[in-house]
């Protein structure tokens, strides 16, 4: 019995010391890993920040360009009927959207949803107004009808999305 007590007298403090060393080392290693991860993330953010800001800029420009009043000024309706002009407007919006499609990886999901909604709403308004008109009328009539429709609306979806992008940039940067 004395032998067992002598063994425990020396073994117990050794086991306790071993556990203490293990806990200290694992804690140190965990903190070191967190520190490395933090510095890596910080470095990555330094290089990603300009790219993210550029994505917000490009999508802000996209939203401005597809706002009906600017879109109609940019794309002339000369020599086109309603159907041709509608097609020109919708194709311009789709091309512009496809050109900026890759920017979604730099935005929050909510911001991207608002951008897609604004694009879809603009296309929808153009299509709905064009359906109400005689397809053989001049394209200028479509322009007038679209502007009238937009002026009746309280808030256009592109303005809502643009406002959200601005708030998100101010909040995050």
Looking at residue 10, its pLDDT comes to: 82
Question: Does residue 28 form part of some domain?
Answer: no
CA 158 to CA 115: how far, in whole Å? 7
**What pLDDT does 44 receive?**
75
Q: What is the pLDDT of residue 1?
A: 74
Q: Is the dihedral of CA 29, 35, 41, 43 positive or negative?
A: negative
- Asked whether residue 69 is assigned to any structural domain, the reply reads yes
pTM of the model: 0.76
What does the pLDDT look like over 3-17, one tens digit per residue? 888 888 888 888 899
DSSP 3-state assignment of 107? coil
Backbone angles phi, psi at 78, to 5 degrees: -60, 130
Domain containing 126 equals 49-172
Whether 2 is in a domain gets the answer: no
39 belongs to a structural domain: no
Give the whole-angstrom CA distance, residue 44 versus residue 37: 10
Let me know if residue 91 belongs to a domain. Answer: yes
User: How many domains does the chain fold into?
Assistant: 1
Nearest alpha-carbon partner for 68 in 159, 3, 164 = 159
Q: Is residue 66 part of a domain?
A: yes
Q: Is residue 104 assigned to a domain? A: yes
The low-confidence residues of the chain, meaning pLDDT below 50, are: none
CA separation (Å) from 8 to 16, 20, 168?
A: 11, 18, 63
């Amino acid at each position: 019995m004395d032998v067992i007590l002598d063994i425990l007298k020396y073994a117990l403090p050794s086991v306790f010391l071993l556990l203490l060393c293990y806990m200290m080392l694992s804690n140190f290693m965990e903190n070191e890993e967190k520190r490395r991860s933090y510095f890596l993330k910080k470095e990555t953010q330094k290089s990603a920040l300009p790219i993210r800001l550029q994505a917000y800029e490009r999508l802000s420009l996209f939203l401005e360009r597809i706002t009906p009043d600017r879109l109609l000024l940019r794309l002339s309706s000369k020599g086109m009927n309603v159907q041709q002009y509608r097609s020109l407007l919708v194709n311009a919006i789709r091309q512009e959207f496809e050109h900026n499609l890759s920017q979604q990886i730099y935005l929050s999901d909510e911001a991207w949803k608002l951008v897609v909604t604004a694009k879809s709403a603009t296309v929808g308004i153009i299509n709905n107004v064009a359906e109400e008109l005689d397809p053989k009328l001049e394209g200028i009539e479509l322009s007038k009808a679209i502007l009238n429709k937009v002026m009746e609306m309280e808030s256009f979806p592109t303005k809502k999305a643009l406002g959200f992008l601005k708030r998100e940039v101010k909040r995050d940067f």
